């Protein structure tokens, strides 16, 4: 069982940005620019980063819903490249996808039951009666009622629809589910329910997740390991505990320093990066962060830093992460917190918060 479930090597996807009059490609959008990571069985790997960093593209590349420009994806040791169309459809039973927007991801003209029965029809030899009972089972697994199967998607709330989408992903008994921002479109009150459902299902069925998100609080809750992406590359990867305790890459530090602290009177050292992310059409040479990095040196502008892993598999793509103080320092605020706030926290705060 040492072999990872999924292993991605130097995966790239360059979209054609514009074409000349004759149809030759002119600009390339480097949406994903050399990703390398593994996902073990039953593990949750979170891909985090701001919008446009290529995390959703990465998720779809892994499932081969879009064709990579180069690089390899191996699932259970099998290279997805060069798979025939029918072998690829068989692979789809083992790796599924949950979308961000539950209002768009369900076919409005199919009943929920038909939506859930479809993967069974495609990937199993179940009789129609067995399919019906399996659909009922799936609905109950995700906390819906059996009679919901006869309804159409428009009759459900966002949270319920996301449960339906989860049930559809579970139907072919997959080993890996790519969750593309599965709770971002949901009310905060529903988020925890859906996240807990995902965790329960993981334990029950031994699922591995690739959890794509920009929401660090969600990621902290669910992920075993985290890969921070910036402009199509992974800049840092570590276990969730390690990353939140001490981010090493300047970008991760800036990202994590944006999380508010639930402790009156305490503030983080905010590490602000100047400017906006550069365009992925013409990314800067060397380290992609170099134009914005406070610790930039000459080498950063010319040479792309490799992912440098230490003994704990905490890897950082920075030329001199060892010289940069790991951040995460929390200090007392200059302004004293109001007594009301302190009382509120004393009453409602979790004891170990």
Residues contributing to the site for other proteins (CB under 8 A): 63, 65, 85, 89-90, 92-93, 96-97, 99, 101, 104-111, 118-119, 122-123, 150-152, 154-157, 165, 168, 171-172
Which lies closer to other proteins via its Cβ, residue 10 or residue 107? Answer: 107
Output DSSP code: residue 92.
T
Question: Which residue, 50 or 118, is less far from other proteins as judged by CB?
Answer: 118
Q: How far is the CB of 96 from other proteins (least distance, A)?
A: 6
Q: How far is the CB of 61 from other proteins (least distance, A)?
A: 13
Give which of 212, 236, 240 is closest to 51, Cα–Cα: 212
| 65 vs 303 by CB, closer to other proteins | 65
Sign of CA pseudo-dihedral 276, 280, 284, 285 = positive
CB of 39 to other proteins, least distance (A): 17
Nearer to other proteins, 170 or 287 (CB): 170
SS3 23: coil
Our CB check for other proteins shows the closer of 114 and 137 to be 114
Phi-psi region of 158 (alpha: psi -120 to 50; beta: other; left: phi over 0): alpha
Question: Least distance in Å: CB of 99 to other proteins?
Answer: 5
Number of H helices, E strands in the chain: 11, 14
Cβ at position 213, least distance to other proteins in Å? 17
Distance, in Å, from the CA atom of 20 to the CA atom of 231, rounded to the nearest integer, reads 25
92 versus 301: smaller Cβ distance to other proteins: 92
**Shortest Cβ 97–other proteins spacing (Å):** 4
Element (DSSP H or E) covering residue 35? strand 25-39
Our CB check for other proteins shows the closer of 85 and 129 to be 85
DSSP string, 195-223: HHHHHHHHHHHT-EEEEEES-HHHHHHH-
3-state secondary structure of 338: coil
Report how far residue 94's alpha carbon sits from residue 81's, in angstroms, rounded to the nearest whole number: 16
From the CB of 324, what's the least distance to other proteins, in Å?
40
Q: Which is nearer to other proteins, 108 or 339 (CB)?
A: 108
Say which DSSP state 322 is in: G
Smallest gap from Cβ 184 to other proteins, in A, equals 14
Q: How far is the CB of 177 from other proteins (least distance, A)?
A: 10
Residue with tokens 């399996």, as numbered in its chain: 134
What count of residues does the chain have? 353
Residues 135, 116: contact at Cβ < 8 Å? yes
Q: Which is nearer to other proteins, 11 or 240 (CB)?
A: 11
Asked whether the beta carbons of 317 and 236 are under 8 A apart, the reply is yes
Q: Which CA distances in Å does 173 have to 85, 111, 247?
A: 20, 21, 36
Contact 343, 287 (CB under 8 A): no
At its nearest, how many Å lie between other proteins and the CB of residue 3?
24
> What is the spatial distance between Cα 172 and Cα 146, in angstroms, rounded to a whole number?
18
DSSP H or E run through 177: strand 176-180
197/235 with CB nearer other proteins: 197
């Amino acid at each position: 069982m040492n072999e990872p479930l999924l292993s991605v090597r130097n995966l790239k996807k360059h979209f054609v940005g514009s074409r000349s009059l004759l149809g030759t490609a002119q600009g390339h959008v480097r949406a994903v620019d050399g990703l390398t990571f593994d996902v073990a069985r039953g593990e949750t790997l979170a891909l985090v980063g701001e919008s446009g960093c290529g995390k959703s593209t990465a998720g779809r590349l892994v499932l081969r819903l879009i064709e990579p420009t180069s690089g390899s994806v191996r699932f259970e040791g099998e290279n997805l490249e060069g798979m025939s169309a029918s072998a690829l459809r068989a692979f789809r039973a083992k790796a599924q996808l949950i979308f961000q927007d539950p209002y768009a991801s369900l076919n409005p003209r199919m009943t929920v039951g038909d939506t859930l029965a479809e993967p069974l029809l495609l990937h199993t030899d179940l009789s129609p009666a067995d399919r019906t009972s399996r659909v009922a089972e799936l609905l109950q697994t995700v906390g819906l009622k059996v009679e919901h199967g006869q309804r159409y998607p428009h009759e459900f709330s966002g949270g319920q629809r996301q449960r339906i989408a989860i049930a559809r992903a579970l139907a072919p008994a997959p080993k890996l589910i790519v969750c593309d921002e599965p709770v971002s479109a949901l009310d905060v009150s529903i988020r925890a329910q859906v996240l807990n459902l995902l965790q329960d299902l993981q334990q029950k069925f031994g699922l591995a997740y690739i959890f794509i998100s920009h929401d660090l609080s969600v990621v902290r809750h669910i992920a075993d390991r985290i890969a921070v992406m910036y402009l199509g590359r992974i800049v840092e990867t570590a276990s969730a505990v390690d990353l939140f305790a001490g981010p090493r890459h300047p970008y991760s530090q800036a990202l994590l320093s944006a999380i508010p602290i639930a402790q009156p009177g305490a503030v983080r050292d905010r590490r602000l990066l100047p400017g906006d992310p550069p365009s992925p059409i013409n990314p800067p040479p060397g380290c992609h962060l170099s134009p914005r990095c406070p610790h930039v040196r000459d080498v950063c502008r010319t040479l792309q830093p490799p992912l440098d892993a230490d003994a704990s598999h905490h890897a950082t793509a920075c030329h001199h992460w060892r010289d940069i103080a790991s951040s995460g320092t929390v200090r007392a605020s200059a302004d004293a917190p109001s007594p009301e706030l302190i009382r509120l926290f004393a009453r409602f705060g979790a004891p170990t918060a």
